[in-house]
Amino acid sequence: MFAMIKSLVRRLVPGLLVAALLSGTVQAVRPRPFIIDTDVGVDDVIAILYMLNRPDVDVKAITIASTGNAHCLPALRNTLALLKLMNREDIPADCGPLKPLAGDHRFPESVLNESDNLAGAAKFLPKVNASTQQRGVDLLIKTIQDSKRPVTILAIGPLTNIAQALKKAPEIKNHIQAVYIMGGAVSVPGNLNDAGVSMDNKTAEWNIYLDPLAASIVFNADIPVILVPLDVTNTVPVNMNFYHALKKNHRTLAANFAFRLFNDNLKMLKANQWYFWDPLSAVIASDESVAGFETKPLRVLLTPEIESGRTALDNRTGQNIRVAVKVDTNKFTGLLLEGLNRS
């Protein structure tokens, strides 16, 4: 009789689980609780879809950094539409403050407008109604407080919401597992001039530059920070190889939307103008084996303006930050494609 049961289990269950099931040692995988803090640019959307599609990730809330890539209401509308597309309308979302903690750094209006309509791809999303109370900071705090397990934050925009939350409820830092930040330029030039404006600041990266005080607060908050800077994202452009791979295999709602977005913007891809900034950060946050890391003493410069937002090496006052310094490109693109196409 035992032999018959064993044979039946082998036919029904993948081989690697057979021994565990028969011995009674198998345990259900508990998804890790995440908050996505995003400014809802074009690459943010790919990162969000990837995270929503991973069975080992439990997205508890999406908070919108309104000091970033898009205006608050269009960003919220696109976020709610993504959640509707993915049948995840149970996930709450809202905007945070419209202004940075200090200063007046902001993207050019042309960039904000492009992100508002997701480079034209917003038309592929379902229609939703959106209104905001700009309670994103409170949503972030409550989500962390209500979670039975420490929450990991994927931060793919300026850090205004997270810094505000830490100021308003400093005790939440004890319930944050880690913060994965797409931001900074450690040993490479910044990217401020890539937005179609001429700026004297050649060292800052946009997410940190938009609210350098907020970034400094997060860096110094005594919580684990993992930085995914331009140094490593510069090595993974969205190229035509990825486009063709996605074209061959886009069988899920997430992958199909990603394909339509890229297909609608082939000119940008062929010109190598887009990089996997936020998707790389999402994949690293969900599976660190895709990257290599070094711990570096970093601080965020607030002044002078010509260096505001710079993530500077500083052995004296810098905080020890784990920095992604290399990536297995083939493994990354494979995980991203697999994640987008997971049913």
Average pLDDT over residues 311-340: 97
pLDDT at residue 116 greater than cutoff 50: yes
Instruction: Judge residue 150's burial from the number of C-beta atoms within 10 Å of its C-beta, 0-12 exposed, 13-18 middle, 19 or more buried.
Output: middle
Q: How confident is the model at residue 273, as a pLDDT?
A: 87
pLDDT at residue 13 greater than cutoff 90: no
Partners of residue 275 on adjacent β-strands: 237
Band (pLDDT 50/70/90 cuts) for residue 222 is: very high
Residues 26 and 77 in one domain: no
Residues 258 and 315 in one domain: yes
Band (pLDDT 50/70/90 cuts) for residue 52 is: very high
Q: How confident is the model at residue 16, as a pLDDT?
A: 38
Residues 10 and 83 in one domain: no
Residues 9 and 80 in one domain: no
User: Lowest-pLDDT range, 27-36, 74-83, 143-152?
Assistant: 27-36
The rounded mean pLDDT for the chain is 92
pLDDT at residue 163 greater than cutoff 50: yes
Average pLDDT over residues 247-262: 96
Cα four-point dihedral sign 211, 147, 254, 242: positive
pLDDT at residue 17 greater than cutoff 70: no
Specify the amino acid at residue 152.
Answer: T
Q: Which residue has the higher pLDDT, 142 or 267?
A: 142
Residues 13 and 105 in one domain: no
User: If you ran DSSP here, which 8-state letter would residue 326 be given?
Assistant: E
Average pLDDT over residues 165-171: 98
Q: How confident is the model at residue 28, as a pLDDT?
A: 58
Instruction: Judge residue 185's burial from the number of C-beta atoms within 10 Å of its C-beta, 0-12 exposed, 13-18 middle, 19 or more buried.
Output: buried
339: left (phi over 0), alpha (psi -120 to 50) or beta: alpha
pLDDT at residue 23 greater than cutoff 80: no
The CA distance from 127 to 306, in Å, is 42
Residues 116 and 21 in one domain: no
Contact 236, 324 (CB under 8 A): no
The CA distance from 280 to 282, in Å, is 5
User: If you ran DSSP here, which 8-state letter would residue 241 be given?
Assistant: H
Contact 127, 81 (CB under 8 A): yes
Contacts of 329 (CB under 8 A, 6+ apart): 235, 236
Q: How confident is the model at residue 26, as a pLDDT?
A: 37
Which CATH number is 169's domain given? 3.90.245.10
pTM: 0.91
Residues 107 and 26 in one domain: no
Q: What are the strands, taking DSSP E only, across the chain?
A: 32-38, 57-64, 93-95, 151-156, 176-182, 225-228, 291-300, 311-313, 319-327
Average pLDDT over residues 141-146: 98
The CA distance from 89 to 339, in Å, is 20
Residues 16 and 149 in one domain: no
Residues 24 and 122 in one domain: no
pLDDT at residue 4 greater than cutoff 70: no
Residues 224 and 328 in one domain: yes
The CA distance from 153 to 176, in Å, is 8
Instruction: Report the percent of the chain where pLDDT is more than 90.
Output: 87
pLDDT at residue 92 greater than cutoff 50: yes
Q: How confident is the model at residue 29, as a pLDDT?
A: 73
The domain tally of the chain equals 2
pLDDT of 265-275, one tens digit each? Answer: 999 899 888 99
Domain carrying residue 24: 1-30
From the centroid of its chain, how far is CA 96? 16
Burial 275-289 (b: 16+ CB within 10 A, else e): bbbbbbbbbbbbeee
Residues 321 and 188 in one domain: yes
Q: How confident is the model at residue 73, as a pLDDT?
A: 97
Residues 290 and 261 in one domain: yes
